[in-house]
Structure 1
């Protein structure tokens, strides 16, 4: 029986701890850096920690693909007095093809939560420069997003309008095929922009 998503996360956390405690060692890591000056500036022990964990994570992600183990985890986003369960791809796991469908499936509930909780707040685009956005502009952008992300501080609610490949959407180099535009709802100019 394959490991579950939660078990893979625990395995990765244990391996990361073992790496930072110096229990993993890879010989000849300087050659893997690809830049001689950087390779000399960082100790072989530190380089070994990074590459050992990267190698292990790649093996776990290959296992995910082979066994069909989802990279999705669920968490509760709370804002004001309300909360909503939302899916997201775990930062150390990869998204499977069916994971995108799971992300897309929750979009309507997240849109409803956003509009309900942001009544009376102002909307702001976060990138490339913070600027106001109207509710009509945001409604149009919401129709184009394939899935959403939500995050909150005590006074601000963040919305990610995402599209493309869930494995690449967080990287600027993936644009325009994949990406995520961010909007924040706040009383005034956003104070704690989380990107």
Structure 2
């Protein structure tokens, strides 16, 4: 009985693991850009004498000659630039995330000014016709509402815009020998 329970638990764990792991692997692809600006997306399968073998997203196998490759973007955020001979790590961050507080405050102020605009319009509308010296500030409230609303949207856009920084990891040495092509990094 215990064996049966262990088998069921193991099978469930494997199913859950595959359900989590496979979609992540399906979304993770490498990109290769050739010197003719042709872009291939997929995963690397093998390296042959003709070049790198890549399985594209469509499922076809493509052999890309080594001397035609300009850049390789790996799924682990590393960039191999063969034109300059440098390897980069792409670091993404959200440094302006505190601007969300400014955007929220501006949005709340915009809502407050819109309520003041409506109240001012109702006050002017409800005043008797025989009163001559009414100051109507509804246009001022409406202008402040629009300006703070635009400022709120802009600051939230800036806050959630990621900043990408290329961190150089070192030069790439490419040399050919009888066994194949050797890539070496210098630090």
Please indicate the TM-score interval, normalised by the length of the shorter structure: under 0.3
Greater fraction of residues in strand: 2
Larger of the two Rg values belongs to structure: 2
Q: TM-score, normalising length from structure 2? A: 0.20
Q: Which has the higher contact order (CA 8 A, sep 6+)?
A: 2
